[in-house]
Every structure is written in C-alpha cells, then in structure tokens.
C-alpha cells in the first residue's frame, strides 16, 4: 500500500496540473515567515509546545491537523490565488518543512484543504463562450432589456408559475438536491431592465409555495465545480444548445481593489472559519493579507484519522485523509443566499459549452 501511494504521488508530480500545485507549494514552503515560523513559533505557532530537539510525532500532527490545514489553506489563497481551480482538481500534494535541521513533508488532501476556504460561488449561464478563469464579467458589459436564452431553455414568465418542462428547471431539479431538488424550481436570472433579480444568467431557485427566491450558491469550491459540471452535462445537447450559451462557476463577492493606486479585482474569502477578507484572485489584483492569527481556529471537532505513507527520501508526518470538521469553519459546503443585486462576478471554472 505504501509503494502504491508513493507511485501515485510521483505520477501526479509529472503532469501539468501537478506542476502547478508543486510550484504553489514551493512558494509556500520557501516562505519562512508565513509557513515555517507559523508552524514552530514559540508564541502562537501550530507546534508552539514542541521543544527544539523534541521529535515531531504523528500523534502531535494529528492533534493539530485542523490548524495545519487552515494555515495551508490561507497560504494557498495568498500565494496561488490565480491557480485555485487548477489546484483544486489535483487530489493530493506534498509540502515540505524543516524541524531540528531535518526535512519533513505533509502529505495532504487538496479537497480537505479547500474545505477550509470559504468562498461564495454561483452557477452562471451566459451567451459568452470565451470567458476564462480570473476574468471579471461586469453587469455593464451585458446587453440590457434583452432575453439571451429561449423560453424553452429557461422560463420567461416567473410570476405565473414556472414551466416545469423548461430545461434549466429539469436540470436544476436533478442536480441541486441540496436546494430541495424536485421540491423547488430553477430558472436563469434576466438582463438589467428586464426584471433582473441578482445578475443576468445566474441560476436561481424559486421556493415552491412561497414567494422566496434564492441564488444557487456553493461555498466549497470543489462542490461548486462538480455541481456546475453536472448542470452543464444535463443541459448539453438539449433545447439550451445552439444559443451560444456556456456554463461557468463564478465567485459572487467581487469588488475593485484600488489600494496602492492599482486597479484590480479582489474576492471575499474566509479561511478556517475566520472573518472574511478581500483577497486578490486575478492577475491584476493586489492581495490583501490576512492576519496570521486568524488562520488558526480555536475549537477542533472530531474526525476519522488516517496515517499517510512515507515518501522515499522525505519523512511524511501523519496526516488526515478523511474529511475534517472544525467548529465555525467551512465544512459546510453550501448556503442558500437570498436575492441581492450583484454588479460583477469572477469566472472560476468553465466554459462548458452547451
């Protein structure tokens, strides 16, 4: 089993995506202040009780797993924000650190690491097929007062009961089980000047037997990716096709960053249950640093534990493969937000052409 895991890890380090993750982890591990010191600082480091010559045990790593994942997630957001979606698709990573002049590495699950990043995402269907991750789509760039999808694709007449047979509703009922599945109904938001609720093309939920409408929103990036893909698959080849439409996963909380005289974009994200901070996600944006202490949650829940195998030449401390629950952290993968006006969204994944 150990040999298989070693081969598995070596395989991923040879492909393009893993090179992206490897480069990200190299940035993090080479930062003495935000990685090495945050692990072993005597005042508020993860292993602040560990003596200089004391052996770092698997038991101690397991005990502090949530703090390590939180620290790792915060560093990924700050140092690798342009590659988040590419990194999220890679199952595992190895990140090095030094203790008592010996080199170690944590073998970690990227899916678990990303569960500590709380970013509100939505699913967008729009008549723009060439948008790329990191690009910001502004409300002002979308034509006003005009339907960009057919009535058969998504119902135009929301006030008079949604059309059960509209493609978006059928796909939404099949995919968005967390939002009630077939118990509720789904439609695409309209253009500005044409009864817009939140943002043109966002998938919205209409609660049955109620006037309440909500944005279909996932706060876990991995869950958002999977749901956007499933939704696009359900729509592909149906009545929404041949309308120049594409499906995207988008960040919903985006604003301009004019700090230091620069004009970029930042997105709101919480790390490890800490307060939300605005973090640069596009190439033009300037990241706003999070307070290091905000990365460390104070209450840790119980979790099933598993010990990782040893990689040749690099001792691997015991690590968690199963999901981790942290009080107040982002183990919750979704949260239905009520309707609000949104001026811009940031492309995270896609396009998935219909």
- What confidence category does residue 183 fall into, taking pLDDT thresholds of 50, 70 and 90? confident
Percent of the chain with pLDDT over 70: 73
Mean pLDDT, range 307-325, rounded to an integer: 32
pLDDT at 160: 66
Are residues 354 and 236 in contact, defined by beta-carbon separation less than 8 angstroms? yes
- The pLDDT of residue 10 is above 50: no
Higher pLDDT, 247 or 302: 247
Top pLDDT among 211 and 290 is at 211
Q: Which of 24-33, 78-87, 232-241, 305-314 shows the lowest mean pLDDT across its residues? A: 305-314
**Higher pLDDT among residues 42 and 25, named by residue:** 25
Q: Give the pLDDT of residue 73.
A: 87
- Give the model's confidence band at 354: pLDDT under 50 very low, under 70 low, under 90 confident, else very high: very high
pLDDT, position 141: 94
234-265: pLDDT as tens digits = 999 999 999 999 999 999 988 877 665 666 77
Mean pLDDT of 185-201: 94
Q: Which range scores top for mean pLDDT: 102-111, 264-273, 321-330?
A: 102-111
């Amino acid at each position: 089993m150990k040999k298989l895991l070693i081969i598995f890890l070596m395989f991923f380090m040879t492909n393009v995506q893993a090179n992206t993750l490897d480069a990200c982890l190299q940035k993090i591990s080479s930062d003495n202040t935000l990685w090495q010191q945050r692990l072993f600082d005597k005042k508020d480091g993860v292993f602040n009780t560990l003596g200089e010559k004391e052996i770092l045990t698997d038991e101690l790593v397991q005990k502090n797993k949530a703090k390590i994942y939180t620290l790792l997630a915060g560093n990924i957001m700050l140092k690798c924000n342009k590659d988040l979606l590419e990194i999220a698709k890679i199952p595992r990573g190895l990140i090095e650190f030094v203790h008592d002049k010996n080199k170690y590495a944590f073998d970690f699950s990227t899916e678990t690491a990303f569960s500590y990043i709380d970013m509100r995402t939505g699913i967008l269907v729009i008549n723009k097929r060439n948008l790329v991750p990191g690009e910001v789509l502004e409300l002002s760039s979308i034509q006003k007062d005009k339907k960009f999808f057919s009535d058969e694709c998504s119902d135009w007449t929301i006030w008079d009961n949604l059309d059960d047979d509209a493609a978006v509703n059928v796909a939404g009922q099949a995919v968005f089980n967390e939002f009630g599945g077939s118990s509720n109904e789904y439609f695409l938001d309209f253009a500005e000047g044409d009864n817009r609720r939140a943002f043109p093309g966002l998938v919205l939920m209409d609660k049955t037997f109620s006037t309440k409408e909500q944005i279909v929103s996932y706060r876990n990036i991995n869950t958002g990716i999977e749901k956007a893909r499933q939704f696009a698959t359900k729509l592909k080849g149906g009545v929404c096709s041949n309308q120049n439409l594409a499906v995207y996963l988008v960040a919903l909380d985006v604003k301009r960053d004019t700090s230091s005289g620069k004009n970029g974009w930042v997105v709101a994200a919480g790390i490890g249950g800490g307060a939300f901070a605005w973090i640069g996600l596009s190439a033009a944006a300037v990241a706003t640093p999070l307070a290091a202490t905000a990365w460390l949650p104070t209450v840790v829940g119980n979790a099933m534990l598993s010990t990782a195998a040893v990689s040749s030449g690099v001792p691997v401390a015991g690590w968690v493969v199963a999901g981790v629950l942290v009080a107040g952290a982002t183990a919750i993968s979704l949260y239905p937000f009520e309707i609000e006006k949104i001026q811009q969204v940031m492309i995270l994944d896609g396009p998935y052409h219909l």
